[in-house]
Structure 1
Amino acid sequence: MCSNPQIEQDFNKLEKFIEDLPDKKGSLIAVLHKAQEIFGYLPEDVQKFVAKKLNIPVSEVNGVVTFYSYFTEEPTGKYVINVCMGTACFVKGSGDVLEEFERQLKIKVGQTTSDDKYTLQVLRCVGACGLAPVVTVNDKVYGHFTKDMVGKILNEYNE
């Protein structure tokens, strides 16, 4: 496959996941989630690998990757910060939260900090409107988020 042992190991891990599926038909999204978990993003070579293993066209894989905002074709930081910009969150101040993240991280939405630690993104809706405004960091959800909490959260992820 390639000369990088880590990447080869990652492809083997994905291949095993696909092989262990009871039914490959209809499993594209689950496989893409696993692939993104393993690789951190879904570059073209990973999409081609998934297509081959599931016996579907690469265009179908890419169509799903580009349709869902959860999937990314670009490398992201260690911590992906998502600020929900759905109606409930926006009305309750997520715009201010987003501006504060941009100010403190010195990046704009869609960018990654120069140390590859943080990527800042927005989501249309997290589906937790009762907790508005909502911020997620990787898979952790923070509700009732205010711009005053931005520094505290960033410190929490500074090792």
Structure 2
Amino acid sequence: MEDLARVNEICTAFDCDPANLIAIMQEIQAEYKYLSEEALTRVAENLHIGTAKVYSVATFYENFSLEPKGKHVIKVCAGTACHVRRSQPIYDAVHDYLGLAGRKKTSADGLFTLETVACLGACGLAPVMTVDGEVHAKMTPETALALLEEIRGKEAQAG
């Protein structure tokens, strides 16, 4: 894993106070894009609390990720308007395209992470998905996969 010096600095900035556990974990995730096993263990050591306590917080909150995020984060809206306008088939198509199984959210090549969100606030454009925060409206499974193919193509040219 990455150098854990930054984890130590973050813990120290919050006075190694267990009352600041969530804020500490948010800072670490902002820095590394996820919470690694090593980082969580180091947090427990720095705060003098059990590793189980740190993991229970990390797994309780949906916003914390225990696996590295892909270079591009895809969010498919599951809100009422999007659901009624068939966002689930979009999610399913992207999920299959990325070869995801079980609880895995990131493609094997590390290029994409797939997530669902309760609402993206673009109900009039439903069904909606975002890629790296950019809104894509009135999606279908076909347009979603075409967009991912386009991104893959650009990545291949750049890399």
TM-score exceeds 0.5 = yes
Q: Which residue among 38, 60, 64 is the counterpart of 1:71?
A: 64
Counterpart for residue 20 of structure 1: 13
Q: Would you say the 8 A contact 1:97–1:145 is kept in 2?
A: no
Match of 2:108 in 1: 114
Relative to the length of structure 1, the TM-score reads 0.70
Residue 146 of structure 2 corresponds to which residue in structure 1?
151
Q: Any stretches of 5+ residues in structure 2 without a counterpart?
A: none
1:132–1:144: 8 Å Cα contact kept in structure 2? yes
Q: What SS does structure 2 have at the residue aligned with 1:82?
A: strand
Count residues with an aligned counterpart: 150
2:84 maps to 1:91: yes
Amino acid at match of 1:155: E
In structure 2, relative to structure 1, the CA distance for the partners of 1:114 and 1:22 (3 Å cut) is closer
Q: Provide the C-alpha distance between the structure 2 equivalents of 1:149 and 1:39, rounded to a whole number of angstroms.
A: 28
Alignment correspondent of 1:62: 55
CA change 1:62–1:106 in 2 (3 A) is closer
For residues 81 and 127 of structure 1, what CA distance do their matches in structure 2 show? 12
CA contact under 8 A between 1:35 and 1:41: conserved in structure 2? yes
Q: Tell me, in whole angstroms, the C-alpha distance in 2 between the residues paired with 1:61 and 1:36.
A: 14
Whole-angstrom CA distance in 2 between matches of 1:145 and 1:154? 18
Root mean square deviation of aligned Cα: 3.1
> CA offset at residue 145 of structure 1?
4.7
Structure 1 gap segments, 5+ residues each: none
Distance 2:80 2:46 in 1: 39
Deviation at 1:95, TM superposition (A): 1.0
Between the aligned partners of 2:51 and 2:43, the Cα distance in structure 1 is 8
Paired-residue identity, %: 29
Q: Hey, what's the Cα distance between the residues in 1 that align with 2:121 and 2:53?
A: 30
Q: Which residue of 2 aligns with 1:39?
A: 32
Letter in 1 for 2:106: T
Structure 1 stretch 42-51 or stretch 21-30: which is displaced more? Answer: 21-30
Instruction: Provide the TM-score with structure 2 as the length reference.
Output: 0.70
